[in-house]
């Protein structure tokens, strides 16, 4: 039942329950506002949106007045304008009007609205109040005297970030927005309050005083840090990325981006960028021109093919590479006769690879996650891995959905999951088997994987998860990084699929990097070519490539010491190789040791390209700036290499020709059906004894751009390399927090400090990857020995 | 993330807060924040430390900042140490018309302190507050938890002399 209302002489048919401001916004009728924001609850405290409503004795706030049948609203009548101007005058009483030195100048809601509704002089002649600034950490600058107390930032914390850190402190004239105790904001979404702030009270700290809004050029982009594919506006000036802000896309990131998406651009100007091609000659690095470098690469690769064979080359590419780069990378290597191609650098088990679909794709859209009835996350710290997917999961929870976490660590989330099934990392498969057994028995469908299911005793926790799965209509099971990187990833994926079958649910992978879907589709895997066609001769996956200690490796935007699982194995393989070619944006100290040729490639915002996100959405973007120094877009470097190697089909002029080729392959090729059904083992693999490592990538160690962003490295969410264990385990080992210990694995050892956390369980210890300090361990998920030094 | 147990809310205080919690729905524990802060303040010599507020927040399972918001909003919570007796004088319209200015002058004279100050012996703290809701018997002041109404300077002298 719709009702009819009139705004400024125009009639609208609207849903009852809507507020006047929503109807006006949809119709393009401008009502000034400060506190109202479509994604936040209604506060109605700024009073700027007062409008004239017929039959009302006084003006009403459009943000908090629901429509009623026959309502007549005037937004520009004398009554409305007088009210709005009066509010404006009050708001400006304490505002410093320091626009010339304010970063918000030129992009300020207060400034814009004051232009329309403010007076050109003030009747207020007394002292203005001033407010002490707050220190909110390395990302957000404050100038609290400018604050007009709209409370958008306060509501954002409560409603979106799920962590209340800002509040209205004091009352009346003494009210201040702040944290009361000095603290840096800890939310991974915190910097969205910069965009929400309608004045210059909260501004972008790294960007402070660097540019004026009107000097900037806006480019569209896509975030390269997770599989969400958040839409960005990249603001540039004189060929430098000055800042990144969200580009609204209701289906993906709504109006938000994570702090990682926003501040990673600070890493683009790092002094560790490589800006020219370099060759190692007699152990010394020399800067050379592109022609020499490319010629050397070609000769070196031809040398490997002649003296060994093409399949003795290992090609490893980042899952953050663009579709174009991934496609050309595999085309180049396959053109030479090498199928050793992989992007699954954080993974350790590939048993499932034949059963994978052409490319992983969530069974529901990102937006639909918030409509789910039950979400089961297996092995995922979603809040840090995919912040904006986690935001949707939290919204689902807020809507009444059940959220169950099956994890090896009791990760801290911004809501309390309905149930958390905590088990040691090595016992995750056992937990899933237990749940599957409950489901199978309830559904009287126990034939599949019978022996495996029988081998596990069911616990009440298993039953609780199973009951939740059975009572939900279509549960969504999500596998996070902890499940995909697990040494039993294949078995866990199979069990998740079986759980879904038995409960009429669906399974989705929250894949690593920005473009794992693209990588699968183009065939950046050793067993399949573009569009999922099987290759004649299955080749080595990334772990086999390290173990085989090949004579030559080609690394594309990969720093194995930071980015790869089983990093010590990788480093060992690289150090024995005769040839290591790195196409990279950054040069690391380890790379100087293992690399022989470095080709500088464009980083984020410097290259055109395409990402396919976790829901299978293709998103193409243009370069916002030209690459730093002599770097060149990766796809162009690969194209030239293809030509120099005299390979067919490398005559692309623009990058869209690459995606066009892929698209046409996708329409003509019909990939064979995945090799399922899964083959289940008859029993679980034997579980090792002793302390085991759980390896994860902290939120701000996820890729090289992020690692080079200094502001992100200074936030409270930034981690240091430590070994985290439960108080019980620490006690058993006789260790205290801060003790330096030797963590060893076979012949490898690293020295780390002990961190004690009640979030750890059993004999699992957390040792993050992404640090040079932890790169010396060969098994990301193996047993470790911990000794006091 | 372990919250260290510091000397703060006693078991008795918690039991008292539990009594208040019974009056509200189980999922509305935040409703008890005002009485809980009173209980915490009374137990700590009349003022609230940040640690105590955090503890109240943890006990009620609400964010710390939500407790700070309440504690900084109401004039009956003290965030700095106060004297043994807190004298809160109303200077709102009814009391002002009934010469609260004279009462304030008298208090400042006798105690030798200004508003928001404490006597050097730590006995009295003087505060100016908004309406105490007893306009009909103005001028009014609140000493600790006792209302004193229809004040005159003589009455004030007497009240002060009675306090330990």
pLDDT tens by residue, B7-18: 689 999 999 999
Interface membership of A170 toward B (CB under 8 Å): yes
- Which candidate, A157, A191, A133, A166, places its Cα nearest to that of A712? A191
Q: How far apart are CA A450 and CA B120, in angstroms?
A: 82
Polymer length in residues for chain A: 789
CA distance A623 to A632: 11
- Residue B2 has a pLDDT of 37
**SS3 call for A395:** helix
User: Pick from A179, A180, A758: which is nearest to B2 by CB?
Assistant: A758
pLDDT band at A675 (very low <50, low <70, confident <90, very high): low
Taking only the tens place, the pLDDT of each residue in A180-209 is: 998 899 999 999 999 999 999 999 999 999
Separation in Å, CA of A179 to nearest CA in chain B: 7
Whether A503 has a pLDDT exceeding 60, the answer reads: yes
Is B66 in contact with A164 (Cβ distance < 8 A)?
yes
3-state secondary structure A684-737: CCCCCCCCEEECCCCHHHCCHHHHCCHHHHCCCCCCCCEEEECHHHHHHHCCCC
Structure tokens at A501: 């079958």
Q: pLDDT tens across A520-559, in order? A: 999 999 999 999 888 888 799 999 999 999 999 999 999 9
Cβ–Cβ of A168/B64 closer than 8 Å? no
User: How many angstroms separate the CA of residue B66 from the nearest CA in chain A?
Assistant: 7
Inform me whether the C-beta atom of residue A103 falls under 8 Å from chain B C-beta atoms. no
Q: Tell if the CB–CB gap between B50 and A180 is shorter than 8 Å.
A: yes
Q: Which of residues 68-127 of B touch A (CB under 8 A)?
A: 68-69, 72-73
Query: What token pair was written down for A248?
Result: 């609204």
Work out the end-to-end distance of chain A between its first and last CA atoms, rounded to an integer number of angstroms. Answer: 74
Residue in A164, A170, A412 nearest the CB of B1:
A412
pLDDT of residue A153: 97
Task: Report CA-CA distances (Å) from B90 to A248, A298, B74, B137, B155.
Answer: 52, 88, 14, 12, 16
A580: left (phi over 0), alpha (psi -120 to 50) or beta: beta
Mean pLDDT of A453-464: 95
For residue range A691-721, list pLDDT tens digits in order. 999 999 999 999 999 999 999 999 999 999 9
Q: Is the pLDDT of residue B5 over 60?
A: no
Structure confidence at residue A688 as a pLDDT band (50, 70, 90): confident
Question: Which residues of chain B does A134 touch, with a Cβ-Cβ cutoff of 8 Å?
Answer: none
The CATH topology of domain B11-73 is Arc Repressor Mutant, subunit A (1.10.10)
According to the model, what pLDDT value does residue A669 have?
81
Query: Measured between CA atoms, how close is A163 to chain B, in angstroms?
Result: 8
> Mean pLDDT, chain A, as a whole number?
95
As a whole number, mean pLDDT of residues A632-661 equals: 95
Answer whether A165 sits within 8 Å of B72, measured CB to CB.
Answer: no
Coil/strand/helix, residue A448: coil
Q: A171–B50: do the CB atoms touch at under 8 Å?
A: no
pLDDT 10s digits, A387-413: 999 999 999 999 999 999 999 999 999
Q: Are residues B77 and B96 in contact, defined by beta-carbon separation less than 8 angstroms? A: no
DSSP structure class, residue A158: I
Of chain A residues 139-168, which have a CB less than 8 A from chain B?
A: 158, 163-168
Q: Which residues pair with A764 in a beta bridge?
A: A692
pLDDT at position B4 is 41
When CB atoms are compared, the residue of B2, B50, B65 closest to A166 is B65
For residues A318-331, one letter each, b for 16 or more C-beta atoms within 10 angstroms of the residue's C-beta and e for the rest, the string is bbbbbbbbbbbbbb
Residues 6+ positions from A479 with CB-CB distance below 8 Å: A378, A379, A380, A492, A493, A496, A507, A508, A509, A510
Q: Report how far apart, in Å, the C-alpha atoms of A578 and of each of A146, A311, A554, A574, A726 are.
A: 61, 15, 12, 8, 43
Of A167, A181, A759, the CB nearest to B69: A167
Are A708 and A745 contacting, i.e. CB atoms less than 8 angstroms apart?
A: no
Closest CA–CA distance from residue B155 to any residue of chain A (Å): 32
The Cα diameter of chain A in Å comes to 92
d(CA A445, CA A453): 11
Task: Give all strands of the β-sheet with A506-509 in edge-to-edge order.
Answer: A419-422, A402-407, A374-378, A476-479, A506-509
Mean pLDDT of A430-442: 96
Q: Is A761 left (phi over 0), alpha (psi -120 to 50) or beta?
A: beta
CB-based contact A104:A202 (threshold 8 Å): no
Confidence check: pLDDT of A321 > 90:
yes
* Residue A264: other Cβ atoms inside 10 A: 29
* Mean pLDDT along residues A579-590: 96
- Asked if residue A677 has a cis previous peptide bond (ω within 30° of 0), the answer is yes
Query: A171 and B72: CB-CB below 8 Å?
Result: yes
Of B1, B2, B68, the CB nearest to A180: B68
Residue B97 has a pLDDT of 96
The verdict on a CB contact (< 8 Å) between A757 and B1 is yes
Distance CA B145, CA A479 (A): 59
pLDDT digits (tens, 9 = 90+) for A136-166: 999 999 999 999 999 999 999 999 999 999 9
pLDDT at A676: 61
Q: Is A222 exposed, middle or buried (0-12, 13-18, 19+ CB in 10 A)?
A: buried
Q: Which two tokens stand for residue A38?
A: 């479509």
Residue B6 has pLDDT above 70, yes or no: no
What does R_g of chain B's alpha carbons equal in angstroms? 18
Predicted local confidence at residue A352, as pLDDT: 86
Instruction: Report the residue of A153, A167, A716 to disrupt the B interface, i.e. the one with the largest count of B CBs within 10 Å.
Output: A167
Kindly report, residue by residue over A296-311, the tens digit of the pLDDT: 999 999 999 999 999 9
- What residues in B contact A167, CB-CB < 8 Å? 65-66, 68-69
Task: Name every chain A residue with its beta carbon within 8 A of the beta carbon of B1.
Answer: 412, 757-759
Task: Please check whether residue B64 touches A, CB under 8 A.
Answer: yes
Q: Is B130 in CB contact (< 8 Å) with chain A?
A: no
- DSSP code for A528: B
Q: Which of B1, B2, B65 sits opposite A167 (nearest CB)?
A: B65
**Local structure of A392: helix, strand or coil:** helix
| Neighbour count for residue A365 (Cβ, 10 Å) | 15
Cβ–Cβ below 8 Å for B66 and A412: no
Percent of chain A with pLDDT over 90: 92
Whether the pLDDT of residue B53 is over 60: the answer is yes
Cβ neighbours of residue A298 under 8 Å, at least 6 residues apart? A641, A644, A645
State the alpha helices, DSSP H only, in chain B. Answer: 11-21, 33-43, 50-60, 64-73, 93-97, 100-111, 153-162
Radius of gyration of chain A (CA): 28
Query: For the ranges A605-609, A686-690, A731-735, B38-42, which has the lowest average pLDDT?
Result: A686-690
Q: Mutation test of the interface with chain A: which of B55, B65, B67, choosing the one with the most A Cβ atoms within 10 A?
A: B65
State whether B1 and A167 contact (CB < 8 Å).
no
* Residue B1 near chain A (CB below 8 Å): yes
Q: What is the pLDDT of residue A167?
A: 95
CATH number of B85-163: 3.40.30.10
Residue B66 contacts A where some CB pair is shorter than 8 Å: yes
Q: From the CA of B65, how many Å to the nearest CA of chain A?
A: 6
Tell me which residue in A171, A180, A758 faces B65 most closely, judged by beta carbons. Answer: A180
Kindly report the nearest CA distance between residue B76 and chain A, in angstroms.
12
Q: How far apart are CA A380 and CA A403, in angstroms?
A: 12
B103 contacts B151 by C-beta, under 8 angstroms: yes
In chain A, residues 172-191 whose CB comes closer than 8 Å to chain B = 179-181
**Minimal C-alpha gap between B33 and chain A (Å):** 15
pLDDT at res. A734: 95
Q: Choose among B50, B65, B73: nearest Cβ to A171.
A: B73
Instruction: Identify the three-state secondary structure at position A199.
Output: coil
pLDDT at B43: 92
Q: Which two tokens stand for residue A131?
A: 């407010």
Q: Determine whether the interchain pair B1/A758 forms a contact, defined as Cβ–Cβ distance below 8 Å.
A: yes
Which H or E run contains A750? strand A748-756
| A179 to B65: CB separation less than 8 angstroms, yes or no | yes
Beta-carbon pairs below 8 A across chains A and B: 36
DSSP string, A605-653: TSS-EEEE-TT--EEEE--SSPPSTT-B-HHHHHHHHHHHTT-SS---S
Concatenating the DSSP letter of every residue in A563-588 gives HSSSHHHHHHHHHH-SEEEEEESB--
The ranges assigned to domains in chain B are 11-73, 85-163
The number of angstroms, rounded, from the C-alpha of A217 to the middle of its chain's C-alpha atoms is 25
- Please determine, for residue B160, whether its predicted confidence score (pLDDT) is greater than 70: yes
Average pLDDT value for residue range B42-58? 94
ipTM over 0.85: yes
Residues A138-151 as b/e (b if ≥16 CB within 10 A, e otherwise) read bbbbbbebbbbbbb
Q: Are A338 and A475 in contact (CB under 8 A)?
A: no
What counts of helices (H) and strands (E) characterise chain B?
7, 5
Distance CA A508, CA A496 (A): 9
Q: Does A759 touch chain B (CB under 8 A)?
A: yes
DSSP A327-348: HHHHHHHHHTT---EE--TT--
pLDDT of residue A170: 94
Closest alpha carbon to A706 in A578, A560, A610, A603? A603
Cis previous bond, A19, omega within 30: no
């Amino acid at each position: 039942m719709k009702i009819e209302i009139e705004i400024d002489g125009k009639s609208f048919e609207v849903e009852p329950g809507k507020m006047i401001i929503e109807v006006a916004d949809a119709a393009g009728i401008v009502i000034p506002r400060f506190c109202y924001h479509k994604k936040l609850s209604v506060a109605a405290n700024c009073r700027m949106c007062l409008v004239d409503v017929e039959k009302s004795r006084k003006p009403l706030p459009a943000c908090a007045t629901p429509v009623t049948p026959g309502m007549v609203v005037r937004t520009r009548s004398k009554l409305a304008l007088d009210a709005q101007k009066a509010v404006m005058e009050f708001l400006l009483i304490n505002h410093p009007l320091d626009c010339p030195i304010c970063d918000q100048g030129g992009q300020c809601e207060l400034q814009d609205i004051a232009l329309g509704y403010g007076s050109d002089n003030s009747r207020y002649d007394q002292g203005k109040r001033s407010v002490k600034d707050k220190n909110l950490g390395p990302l957000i600058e404050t100038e609290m005297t400018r604050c007009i107390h709209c409370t958008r930032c306060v509501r954002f914390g409560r409603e979106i970030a799920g962590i209340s850190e800002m509040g209205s402190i004091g009352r009346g004239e003494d009210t201040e927005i702040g944290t009361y105790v000095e603290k840096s904001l800890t939310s991974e979404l915190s910097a969205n309050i910069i965009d929400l702030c309608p004045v210059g009270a909260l501004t972008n700290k790294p960007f402070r005083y660097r540019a004026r809004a009107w000097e900037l050029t806006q480019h569209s982009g896509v975030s390269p840090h997770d599989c969400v594919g958040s839409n960005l506006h990249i603001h540039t000036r004189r060929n430098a990325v000055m800042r990144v802000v969200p580009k609204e896309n209701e289906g993906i990131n709504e109006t938000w981006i994570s702090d990682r998406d926003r501040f990673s651009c600070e890493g683009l100007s790092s002094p560790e960028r490589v800006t020219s091609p370099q060759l190692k000659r007699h152990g010394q690095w020399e800067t050379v021109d592109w022609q020499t470098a490319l010629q050397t690469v070609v000769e070196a690769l031809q040398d490997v093919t002649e003296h060994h064979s093409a399949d003795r080359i290992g090609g490893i590419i980042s899952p953050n590479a663009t579709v174009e780069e991934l496609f050309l990378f595999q085309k180049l290597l396959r053109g030479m006769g090498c199928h050793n191609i992989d992007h699954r650098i954080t993974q350790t088990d590939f048993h499932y690879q034949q059963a994978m679909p052409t490319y992983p794709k969530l069974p529901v859209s990102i937006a639909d996650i918030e409509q789910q009835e039950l979400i089961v996350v297996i092995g995922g710290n979603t809040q840090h891995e995919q912040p904006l997917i986690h935001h949707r999961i939290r919204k689902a929870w807020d809507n009444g959905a059940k959220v169950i976490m099956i994890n090896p660590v009791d990760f801290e989330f911004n809501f309390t999951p309905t149930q958390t099934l905590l088990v040691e990392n090595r016992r995750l498969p056992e937990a899933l088997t237990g749940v599957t057994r409950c489901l199978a028995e309830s559904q009287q469908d126990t034939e599949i994987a019978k022996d495996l299911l029988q081998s596990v005793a069911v616990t009440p926790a298993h039953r609780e998860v199973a009951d939740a799965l059975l009572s939900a209509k279509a549960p969504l099971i999500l596998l996070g990084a902890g499940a995909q990187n697990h040494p039993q990833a294949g078995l866990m994926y199979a069990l998740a699929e079986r759980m879904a079958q038995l409960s009429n649910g669906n399974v989705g992978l929250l894949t690593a990097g920005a473009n794992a879907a693209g990588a699968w589709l183009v065939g950046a895997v050793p067993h399949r070519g573009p569009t999922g066609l099987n290759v004649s001769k299955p080749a080595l996956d990334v772990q086999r490539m390290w173990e085989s200690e090949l004579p030559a490796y080609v690394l594309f935007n990969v720093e194995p010491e930071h980015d790869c699982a089983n990093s010590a194995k990788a480093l060992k393989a690289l150090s024995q190789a005769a040839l290591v070619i790195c196409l990279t944006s950054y040069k690391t100290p380890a790379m100087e040791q293992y690399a022989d040729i470095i080709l500088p490639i464009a980083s984020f915002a410097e290259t055109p390209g395409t990402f396919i996100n976790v829901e299978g959405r293709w998103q193409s973007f243009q370069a916002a700036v030209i690459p730093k120094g002599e770097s060149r877009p990766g796809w162009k470097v690969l194209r030239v290499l293809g030509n120099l190697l005299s390979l067919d089909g490398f005559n692309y002029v623009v990058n869209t020709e690459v995606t066009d080729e892929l698209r046409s392959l996708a329409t003509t090729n019909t990939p064979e059906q995945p090799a399922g059904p899964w083959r289940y083992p008859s029993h679980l693999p034997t579980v090792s004894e002793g302390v085991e490592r759980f390896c994860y990538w902290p939120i701000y160690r996820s890729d090289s751009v992020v690692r080079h962003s200094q502001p992100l490295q200074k936030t409270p969410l930034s981690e240091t390399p430590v070994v985290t264990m439960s108080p019980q385990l620490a006690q058993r080992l006789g260790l205290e927090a801060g003790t330096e210990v030797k963590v060893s694995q076979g012949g490898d050892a690293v020295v780390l400090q002990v961190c004690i956390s009640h979030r750890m369980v059993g004999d699992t210890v957390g040792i993050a990857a992404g640090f040079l300090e932890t790169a010396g361990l060969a098994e990301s998920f193996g047993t470790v020995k911990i000794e006091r030094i | 993330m372990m919250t260290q147990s510091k000397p703060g809310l006693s078991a008795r205080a918690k039991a008292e807060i539990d009594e208040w919690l019974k009056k509200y729905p189980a999922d509305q524990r935040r409703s008890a924040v005002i009485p809980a802060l009173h209980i915490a303040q009374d137990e700590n010599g009349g003022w609230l430390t940040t640690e105590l507020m955090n503890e109240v927040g943890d006990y009620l399972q609400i964010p710390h900042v939500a407790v700070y918001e309440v504690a900084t909003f109401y004039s009956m919570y003290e965030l700095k140490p106060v004297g043994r007796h807190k004298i809160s004088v109303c200077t709102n319209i009814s009391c002002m018309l009934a010469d609260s200015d004279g009462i304030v002058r008298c208090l400042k004279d006798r105690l030798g302190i200004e508003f928001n100050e404490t006597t050097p012996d730590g006995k009295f703290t003087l505060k100016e507050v908004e309406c105490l809701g007893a306009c009909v018997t103005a001028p009014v002041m609140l000493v600790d938890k006792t209302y004193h109404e229809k004040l005159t300077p003589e009455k004030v002298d007497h009240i002060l002399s009675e306090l330990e």
